[in-house]
Structure 1
Amino acid sequence: MKRFVWLVVILLIASPGWAAKKMTVGQLKDLLAADQKAQKSDADVAAELKDIDLTDELTHSMMDSFKPLVPGQLTTEQLFVLEIRSAVLPPPASEIPATAAPDATKQKAILDKATDYATKTYAQMPALSASRTLRRFQDSAHQDQPAPGTHGSPVLAATYTPIRYTASDDASVTFKNGVEVNPLAGEKAHWGENSMIALLGPAPDPGTVLQEAQAAGKISWLRWETIAGHDLAVFSYSVDKKKTHYAVNYCCFPETSQVGQVAMRGQESAGGAGNYQTSANWKDFKSTEPYHGQVFIDPETGVIYRLITQVEFKGSDPVKTENQRIDYGVETVGDKKVVVPGFVTIDTVEQPFPDSPQGRYILRHTLFTENYSGYKTAGS
C-alpha cells in the first residue's frame, strides 16, 4: 500500500497539469473583470491563467470581447494558449443556434453532399502553393536526476515552466489534392535533441475521414453551429483501429538502455539532467491510429469548413494527445474561388523520455498554430 501511495505522489509531481482549474469561458471573463477591478498586474493575471483548463471553446468573438479586460502582453499570450487548447471543444451554449436538428433523411442528404464535395471537388484541386506561418508554444518540463557519483534517492521534482510562445517559422508550402506536402520530411534538423518535436505526417484529409467514418458506421448528428456567417451542420464521428488509415509521424524520441538518464540537447545548461547524458539513438514515432472528431458542413453545398480530429493513442505510445482543428476559408486563385486550409491548431502532449526505473515519467505540452495565405497555382 505504501508503495502505491508513493507512486501516486510521483505521478502528481510529474504531471504539471494535474491541478488545473476547470472553468467555462463565461467564468474566465468574470475572472478577468474581477482582476481588472482589483488592479492586478499583467504578470499576476497571466500566472492565474496558466492554471486554467476551459470546458468550452474560447471563440474569436469571445476573445474580442476580452480586449478591454486584458492588462498586457503576458495575459494575451496565455489567452492564445487557452484558445488553442480549447479549439476542439463546443462553443459556449449562448453561441449555439437553437435551430431544430434535421430529420434522418436530411442528415443523410447533407453527408452525401459532403462526401461528393470532399472526393470530387476538394480532392481534385490543382496543385497549389501558399505562405505558411507556423507558431509553436510549449512548456519545458524535464526530469531531474541525482548528481553523478551519488548513491542517494533520485530527485523526484520535475523541473517545469508553463506553456509559453517559443518560436515561429515562415515557409512556402505546396498542396497536392488539397493536402499539404510536408516540408519537414527528410530535413536533417536535430528534432528531439533540441527539446522540440516535429510533425512529419500528412494533415487529415476530409475525404478520407468521411469515407472511413461512414464505412465504420460511426457518424451521427451533433448540433448546428455558426462560423464566419455560415450555419453549419456538425456531425461527430469515430473511426476504429480496423478502419483507420490515420498515419502519425513524430520526430523524435530517444532510445536508450539507461532509461531515465537521457537529457535533451538544450537542457544541458540547466544542470541536473544535463549531467546524465548517454549516447541515445533518436527515432521517429510512426503509427496508424484510431481517431474521432467532428466535421462541419454547409448543408446546401456540402462544403466542409472545419474538420476536427482527435487521435486515440495507446498508453504505451510516446505521444499521448493530438487534437487538431483545420478551419477552411475561401481564396481566389486565378479566376476561381477555392476552399482551402486557412488556420490550423494542433494540441499535443508527449512523453519526451522513457519511463524511469522508479516508474516515473513526465509529460510535455506542445501547441502549434498554422496560418496560410497567398494561395496560387504551384509553379506560377
Structure 2
Amino acid sequence: MMRKWVTLLFLVGTAWPAMVEKSVSIQQLEQMLFADHGKSDEKVAERLSDVTLTERVSPIRLAKWEKEYPGSHTREALMKLADQAAFLDPPEADVLRDPPPDNETQERMLALALDYVKTAIRRLPNFYATRETTHFEDAPSQQSTSASPASFGSAVRNMRVPGLAIGRTESKPLRSTGASSVTVTYRDGGEVGVTQTDKSKTEDHPVTGLTTSGEFGPILGVVLGDAMRGQVTWARWEQGAGDPVAVFRYSVAADASNYTVRIPNESKYEEVHSAYHGEIAIDPATGSVLRLSIVAELAPPYETMRTAIAVEYAPVEIGDRTYDCPVHGVAFSKVPVPSAKAEPPDAAPEVQTQLNDVAFTHYHLFGSEARIVGDGSGTGAGSPAASGAVPAAAGTPAAVTGDSSSAPPTNQKQ
C-alpha cells in the first residue's frame, strides 16, 4: 500500500524591507544580459537583482547563460531568477505548435509513464551521489530569530481567525544564506541515508528551508498514482534537448491525496491533508519523466501558506550503463513566522519566503564513476522522486519527506 508523502514545516522569524522588482520576459532578460556584456560580475548581478521573470527558464537556456556569464555573483543571481520562475509557464518560443495528440495517444503516454514508475527503479544499481543545496530567504540569517515548534503554534493559531491577513505580502529580496552538500546512498532498491559535508557560508546559520527526501523512490509513485485517480489534462508540447516533450497538467483533490503537510503546533505536529496540482513532462516514446512540479493547495486556515517543489531529470552514466536520475530540484515555501518583537495576541504573523536550489551531481557506482550525458540540460528521463533540499537543521525551516511502498522509477538505457 502506498504511504502518504509528508511535508514537514519548520520556521524561523525574520523581517526585511520591501523591494520593488521589475517583471521581465525571457527575451527581455536576454536583452539585458547582452547590454551588460563586458561589465563586471558584481555589476551584472546587481542589475539582475532588480528583476523577476514572468516565464520559466529551460535547463538548456540557463546552462547557456551560465556559460556566457561565469562570474560567481552572476551565476548565483541567474540561479535565483530561474528557481523563482520554476513554476511558471515556458516562453512561447519553447512551446511547439504541433496539434495535441488524440485521447488514445495521450492514454498510451500516461500508461508508459505509469509502467516506468512501477518498473524502472528495479534496474537501478547500488550507487551514491552528491546533493548540493543553496539556500535563499528573504532575510539575512544573522537577523533571524530561531523559532521552536511551540512558538510557531501561536502564529498558526492566528491564522484560524476567519478573513485574517497573513501579514506583509510585498516582494522582498531573496539572499543566499548558505550552501550544503550531502552524499546520498542508494542500495538494494532504496535510499539508505545521507552523509553531510557542511559548506554553509555562516556556521551559525546552516542551510534551511523546504526539504525533501526520497528522490529515488516515493515522489513519482505518489504523484502519478494520485494523478491517475484525480484529473489529468493535456497541456502542450515543449521542445526538449532533442525530441519534443509531452506536458500534462494534473490536479488531485484532498480526499484522493497521499500528500500531507505536517505543521508544528505547540509540542506536537498537526497533519493537514492537502490537495495539490502541478505538471508532469514525459518522453512520449518511453514514458520516462523529465520534469515534475508539485504545488500544495492548503485548505483554511492555512490557505495562505505556499509550498512547492520541482525536479528535473537527465540521463546519467553509472558504471557502463545510462540511467535517468534527478539532476536538479527547486523547493519553495512561503509561510508565517513568529515575529522577533512583541506583537498583540491577535496580530497577523509575518511571512517568510524560502527557496532551496538543489543539484544532484557526482553519481558513482560503488567502485566506479559516473557522469551526466550530453549537456546536462535536464531533458533526459526521470528517476524516482522529486527531492529537493538538504535535511533541515533542528529548529530551522521546512522539510518534505516522502515514502511509498510502490517505490518509483528510473529508466535504464543500454
TM-score, normalised by the number of residues in structure 1: 0.69
Aligned to 1:353: 338
The answer to whether residue 226 in structure 2 is matched with residue 227 in structure 1 is: no
Once the 2 structures are TM-superposed, how far is the Cα of residue 290 of structure 1 from its aligned partner? Answer: 1.8
Q: CA separation in 2, counterparts of 1:349 and 1:20?
A: 18
SS state at 2:111 partner: helix
Once the 2 structures are TM-superposed, how far is the Cα of residue 18 of structure 1 from its aligned partner? Answer: 6.8
Aligned to 2:72: 73
Residue 113 and residue 194 in structure 1: after superposition, are their counterparts in 2 closer, same or farther (change >3 A)?
Answer: closer
Once the 2 structures are TM-superposed, how far is the Cα of residue 81 of structure 1 from its aligned partner? Answer: 0.4
Once the 2 structures are TM-superposed, how far is the Cα of residue 128 of structure 1 from its aligned partner? Answer: 3.4
Q: Is the 8 A contact 1:127 1:174 kept in 2?
A: no
SS state at 1:199 partner: coil
Q: CA separation in 2, counterparts of 1:72 and 1:338?
A: 32
Once the 2 structures are TM-superposed, how far is the Cα of residue 305 of structure 1 from its aligned partner? Answer: 1.8
Q: 267, 276, 291: which one pairs with 2:276?
A: 291
Q: Is the 8 A contact 2:314 2:324 kept in 1?
A: yes
* Equivalent position amino acid for 2:76 in 1: E
Aligned to 2:128: 130
Once the 2 structures are TM-superposed, how far is the Cα of residue 314 of structure 1 from its aligned partner? Answer: 4.1
Q: Is the 8 A contact 2:210 2:332 kept in 1?
A: no
Choose between structure 1 and 2 for higher RCO, CA contacts under 8 A separated by at least 6 residues.
2
SS state at 1:87 partner: coil
Aligned to 1:269: none
The answer to whether residue 211 in structure 2 is matched with residue 199 in structure 1 is: yes
Q: CA separation in 2, counterparts of 1:310 and 1:44?
A: 34
Aligned to 2:259: 246
Once the 2 structures are TM-superposed, how far is the Cα of residue 192 of structure 1 from its aligned partner? Answer: 11
Q: 145, 160, 163: which one pairs with 2:174?
A: 163
Aligned to 1:372: 361
Q: CA separation in 1, counterparts of 2:207 and 2:314?
A: 33
Which string of whole-angstrom CA distances, capped at 9 and with x for unpartnered residues, describes residues 309-339 of structure 1?
1222346449933332222222344554322
Which string of whole-angstrom CA distances, capped at 9 and with x for unpartnered residues, describes residues 97-125 of structure 1?
22221111111111111111211x23434
Aligned to 1:325: 310
Q: Is the 8 A contact 2:16 2:138 kept in 1?
A: no
Structure with the greater alpha carbon radius of gyration: 1
Considering only aligned residues, what root-mean-square deviation do their CA atoms show, in Å?
4.1
Q: CA separation in 2, counterparts of 1:50 and 1:360?
A: 27
Aligned to 1:25: 26
The answer to whether residue 316 in structure 2 is matched with residue 305 in structure 1 is: no
Q: CA separation in 1, counterparts of 2:248 and 2:114?
A: 13
Aligned to 1:210: 224
Give the number of aligned pairs.
Answer: 319
Q: CA separation in 1, counterparts of 2:63 and 2:212?
A: 33
TM-score, normalised by the number of residues in structure 2: 0.64
Q: Is the 8 A contact 2:180 2:207 kept in 1?
A: no
Once the 2 structures are TM-superposed, how far is the Cα of residue 244 of structure 1 from its aligned partner? Answer: 0.9
Q: CA separation in 2, counterparts of 1:347 and 1:306?
A: 16
Aligned to 1:101: 100
Which string of whole-angstrom CA distances, capped at 9 and with x for unpartnered residues, describes residues 145-193 of structure 1?
xxxxxxxxxxx999x98323333333221347876456499xxxxx998
Aligned to 1:139: 137
Once the 2 structures are TM-superposed, how far is the Cα of residue 364 of structure 1 from its aligned partner? Answer: 3.1
Q: Is the 8 A contact 1:320 1:350 kept in 2?
A: yes
Q: CA separation in 2, counterparts of 1:195 and 1:315?
A: 30
* Equivalent position amino acid for 1:236 in 2: R
* Equivalent position amino acid for 1:22 in 2: S
Once the 2 structures are TM-superposed, how far is the Cα of residue 213 of structure 1 from its aligned partner? Answer: 0.9
Q: CA separation in 1, counterparts of 2:362 and 2:254?
A: 35
Q: CA separation in 2, counterparts of 1:95 and 1:112?
A: 25
Residue 29 and residue 311 in structure 1: after superposition, are their counterparts in 2 closer, same or farther (change >3 A)?
Answer: same
Once the 2 structures are TM-superposed, how far is the Cα of residue 292 of structure 1 from its aligned partner? Answer: 0.9
Identical positions, percent: 25
